[in-house]
Amino acid sequence: ILNVEQSPQSLHVQEGDSTNFTCSFPSSNFYALHWYRWETAKSPEALFVMTLNGDEKKKGRISATLNTKEGYSYLYIKGSQPEDSATYLCARNTGNQFYFGTGTSLTVIP
């Protein structure tokens, strides 16, 4: 993998469903992996900064895991709510550069 890739590109789920999406990245020169939540007309909001292989982080109903050896991170949302609708971005930080994926657009249907 040369670039940061996110899948799926978009996702529609029903309120109350749990969901997850993937961020894949080159495992070389790894420093940190960042997840952001970006709502329309707002600033991208930092969710997690993950640095260690095997890291698991949680904030409310949202959690993330990190595998630096194989180069992927998963973001999980438990019991999705309409206010979770946003684009979720991941970014690989090599120490002085951030490389972003194209994001996963999540729509939670009431």
Residue with smaller CB distance to another protein, 34 or 80: 34
Residue with smaller CB distance to another protein, 41 or 110: 41
CA pair distance 37, 75, nearest whole angstrom = 11
11 within 8 A of 103, measured Cβ to Cβ = no
- From the list 19-27, 28-36, 54-62, 63-71, the region that binds another protein by CB under 8 A is 28-36
Residue 84's SS3 state is helix
Tell the smallest beta-carbon distance from residue 100 to another protein (Å): 4
93 near another protein, rule: CB under 8 A: yes
71 near another protein, rule: CB under 8 A: no
Tell the smallest beta-carbon distance from residue 82 to another protein (Å): 21
Residue with smaller CB distance to another protein, 31 or 79: 31
Quickly list DSSP for 4-61. -EEE-SEEEEETT--EEEEEE---TT--EEEEEEE-TTS--EEEEEE-STT-EEEETT
> Which residues bind to another protein, rule: CB under 8 A?
3-4, 32, 34, 36, 41-44, 46, 49, 89, 91, 93, 97-98, 100-103
